[in-house]
Amino acid sequence: MEIYDVVIVGAGPAGLSAGIYAGRSNLKTVILDQMMPGGQLLITEQIENYPGFFDGITGFELSEKMRQHAEKFGAVIENGKPVSSVDLDGDIFVVKCEGGEFKGKSLIWAAGSVPRKLNVPGEAEFVGRGVSYCAVCDGAFFRDRTVAVIGGGDSALEEALYLTKFASKVYLVHRRDKFRAVKIIQDRVFKNEKIEPIYNKVVTSINGKDFVESLTLKDTVTGETSELAVDGVFIFIGNEPNVSPVIHLVDTTDQGFIITDEEMATKTPGLFAAGDVRHKPLKQVVTAAADGAVAAMSAAKYLEEKEG
């Protein structure tokens, strides 16, 4: 079986950037992705803080450019390959996924994260019937309807703004009395007449018959409960890292993010982590891409030192 110099898991900005740098260093590189290249870019309508794209660029367009860029330098992209396990056979990484396995002398884990769940009654039951974690995917179903967005970070506020293109009313439900999103986005939210912030409230259940009809909210200050009639609820309360296949090979924080050094190295020689799976102060497309570049150059250095 073919042994790659670098196996990269995840084709978001971190994995694709790693693919560009590894391919350009003449390393035999494969990038595995569970679906198609893009990662969370695919569920982001507009990126307006990636350097050079001052007019903004859609997440889809940016991911397409990154994919083409990685392929231009020889990285092979394998779609539809969700990884189930990673093990070491000597110093070779054996990556098992649907439809087979891939072997690599080094591994860059850039598998990103999944949306955090509220874990309240009705949430799992109404997924696809009013509960969504992706405004770009599902926003258009809520034309002239009332929706709630849950969360107070950049994602919640940006997606609430995006949803005003379709919905007639967007409640923005946050558990505290201050948002944590950057100020420029907060200002846009406060100016938007379709958005009504609801502070100090958590969702305790999502209710309905066939589709979502209402939320039960609990006031975090007074403890009082109330009902909010909505046709849909978009949940943006952060993300949890995809780490389970490599959990035995890395150290993580209490929240499960992989701990690396500045070179993106984990505690296992030859295994590097990049992007949203990694513990770091700023999670952005540009920092994911930077992580990928560093990880690929570190993998190149690791191989050079090992093989001479």
Provide the 10 A C-beta neighbour count for residue 88: 15
* Among 95-103, 132-140, 145-153, 188-196, the segment contacting ligand NAP (CB under 6 A): 145-153
For ligand NAP, give the closer residue by CB, 76 or 284.
284
For ligand NAP, give the closer residue by CB, 102 or 179.
179
Alpha helices in the chain (DSSP H): 13-24, 59-72, 135-138, 154-163, 183-191, 285-307
Catalytic residue chosen out of the listed positions 137, 187, 251, 261 = 137
CB 235 within 8 A of CB 127: no
- Residue from 238, 256, 293, 301 touching ligand NAP (CB under 6 A): that is 238
Tokens standing for residue 285: 């497309």
Binding of ligand NAP by 136 (CB under 6 A): no
| Distance of closest approach, residue 259 Cβ to ligand NAP, in angstroms | 17
Number of residues counted as binding ligand NAP (CB under 6 A): 20
Catalytic residue chosen out of the listed positions 138, 154, 231, 291 = 138
Binding of ligand NAP by 175 (CB under 6 A): yes
| Distance of closest approach, residue 221 Cβ to ligand NAP, in angstroms | 13
Q: Phi/psi zone of residue 112: left (φ > 0), alpha (ψ -120 to 50 degrees), beta?
A: left
| Distance of closest approach, residue 154 Cβ to ligand NAP, in angstroms | 4
Give dist(CA 31, CA 54) in Å, integer.
29
Binding of ligand NAP by 122 (CB under 6 A): no
Q: Which of residues 273-292 bind ligand NAP (CB under 6 A)?
A: 283-284
Q: Among 263, 289, 274, which Cα is nearest to 52's?
A: 289
Token pair 């258009």 in the structure block, residue: 140
Pairing label, strands 146-150, 169-173 = parallel
Binding of ligand NAP by 158 (CB under 6 A): yes
Whether 137 is a known active-site residue: answer yes
Whether 138 is a known active-site residue: answer yes
Give dist(CA 75, CA 19) in Å, integer.
6
| Distance of closest approach, residue 176 Cβ to ligand NAP, in angstroms | 4
Binding of ligand NAP by 142 (CB under 6 A): no
- Residue from 147, 148, 156, 217 touching ligand NAP (CB under 6 A): that is 156
For ligand NAP, give the closer residue by CB, 29 or 260.
260
Q: Among 283, 284, 282, 261, which Cα is nearest to 273's?
A: 261
3-state secondary structure 10-46: CCCHHHHHHHHHHHHCCCCEEEECCCCCCHHHHHCCE
Residue 211's alpha-carbon distances to 129, 130, 148, 165, 298, in angstroms, are 5, 6, 14, 22, 50
Which residues are identified as catalytic?
134, 137-138
Residues near ligand NAP (CB under 6 A):
49, 118, 150-156, 158, 175-176, 180, 202, 236-239, 283-284
